[in-house]
Amino acid sequence: MLVAAFSLLVPACTSGGVTAATTTSTKRAAVLAPLPRAVPVALSAYYRQQLDWRDCVGPGFQCATMRAPLDYAKPEAGDVRLAVARRKATGPGERLGSLLVNPGGPGGSAVEYLESYAALGYPQAVRARYDMVAVDPRGVARSEPVECLTGPGMDTYTQTDPTPDDEAEADALVGSFRQFAKGCEARSARLLGHVSTVEAARDMDVLRALLGDERLTYVGASYGTFLGATYAGLFPGRVGRLVLDGAMDPSLSARRLNEDQTAGFETAFQSFAKDCVRQADCPLGGRGTTPGRVGENLKAFFRRLDEKPLATGDPDGRELGESLATVGVIAAMYDEAAWPELRQALNQAVEDEDGAGLLALSDSYYERDPDGRYSNLMYANAAVNCLDLPAAFSGPEQVEKALPAFEKASPVFGRGLAWAALSCTYWPVKATGAPQRIEAKGASPIVVVGTTRDPATPYPWARALASQLSSGRLLTYEGDGHTAYGRGSDCIDSAINTYLLRGTPPAEGKRCAQR
């Protein structure tokens, strides 16, 4: 898990900020699931609360606010309020219950994902049988969001040189990490110790009960797979149909996760490079140029930007330096459909010395709007990641020693991603989590999906999670991009839809070729 001047475990699919406009209220007694015997008396009030659903956003959408204990070990310490949204099953056919969705991050808004895509873009057969439901995890978007920096402060942070060449530049990078952490502590001290994945998973169990479901049905993407697997480990007997798409391996340390992810981005870039040189507009090499040479050409471009940033026409005066350009390229690795846009942006930068295209890609990644405001995606990303695992490195000296391994994993991105892994070192709250295998013994079959050239959640992670889960079933997509469900593969979609609708998991070892 990585948080820094560029943060990697971002949502598999997010949307622009949609503001919920509350109108009418729908008050009625909730049909609650039976209270599990394992629920402590001190938590029963949370499991027995009633959600006050209100019409919001658009036709068919309802929103509510649920309460959860800020600290599950001390419920008397106060509450955290979580934003919940749903779109009820459209029929026909028997209702199968609620389908909870999470797009990843950590820090992606599940509510906005539901509103912008899941509730309307999931297959009609699934939407007909399930109430589509989302909850923004604690610290995210509409659920008491973690805040850290002002817009201008975040602009400065995202432009910090990610590959220091000397001690002064290394000090500047460390200073940016410290400033980020201090901002989070100053603005969000109450929350920082209580936004872990374990707590978010416990919140999901409260919501499951409030929705009237005895078992949780869930589709989680990217980091959402770690959230779903954590739920399964905590509550294996309450697992219904779980799809974990773009899986993470919970048994790995922060150092190993960062190094593996660095290799994942190199794999994705190699695939982009092979495609790029076949196109007439590839600015990094013509037909016959090897992927290695394409990578060298991109590194040379980054070095030029480090020395002399490009103008962008940005009204706030931002130029395109190495940091923003790197993020712009990384952003396009998540979806092969973005490769033409990346080629165009690189051409604009290389040929016309105009950084506007790469800046736009970077802004979309950071969720920065034209007015200079950032969503809280990166703030929540840092808060959750730094709480879930001890920091990858203890200081710059360890980063220096690790550089050869990271640069071997990715000649293009390795140096910057090694330094990025230093960010949690200066976090104001001690990590409460640790690497662990999750077996979830006794759980119903859980479908784990892996994409062979996934940049952010490398395919070996999916294999590892599926083997750890006692009931894990691996579904493989042989292709590019981050995650697989709903991205154009009829083979993948059919297998997952069958599982969600009938409860039948894919055959052991099922593989789907690239579309």
* Token pair in block for residue 385: 């990641």
- The strand pair at 53-55 and 25-26 is best described as antiparallel
454 catalytic? Reply is yes
Contact status, residue 449 vs residue 206, Cβ threshold 8 Å: no
CA–CA gap between residue 349 and residue 343 (Å, rounded):
10
CA–CA gap between residue 510 and residue 506 (Å, rounded):
6
194 catalytic? Reply is no
SS3 call for 502: helix
Instruction: Give alpha helix (H) positions in 410-457.
Output: 414-420
DSSP symbol at 141: T
Name the helix (H) or strand (E) containing 467.
Answer: helix 459-468
DSSP symbol at 368: B
DSSP string for 153-183 = HHHHHHTS-SS--SHHHHHHHHHHHHHHHHH
Among the listed residues 131, 388, 454, 480, the single catalytic one is 454
Among the listed residues 176, 480, 482, 493, the single catalytic one is 482
CA–CA gap between residue 446 and residue 444 (Å, rounded):
6
Contact status, residue 242 vs residue 228, Cβ threshold 8 Å: yes
**Closest Cα partner for 323 from 310, 338, 337, 335?**
310
* Token pair in block for residue 261: 């992810």
* Amino acid (1-letter code) at residue 117: Y
Contact status, residue 295 vs residue 411, Cβ threshold 8 Å: yes
CA–CA gap between residue 39 and residue 30 (Å, rounded):
19
DSSP string for 95-113 = --EEEEEE-BTTT--HHHH
DSSP string for 318-333 = --B-HHHHHHHHHHHH
Among the listed residues 7, 222, 375, 423, the single catalytic one is 222
Beta strands in 187-254 (DSSP E): 216-221, 239-245
Contact status, residue 221 vs residue 102, Cβ threshold 8 Å: yes
* Token pair in block for residue 97: 């219950």
CA–CA gap between residue 100 and residue 234 (Å, rounded):
17
Catalytic residues: 222, 454, 482
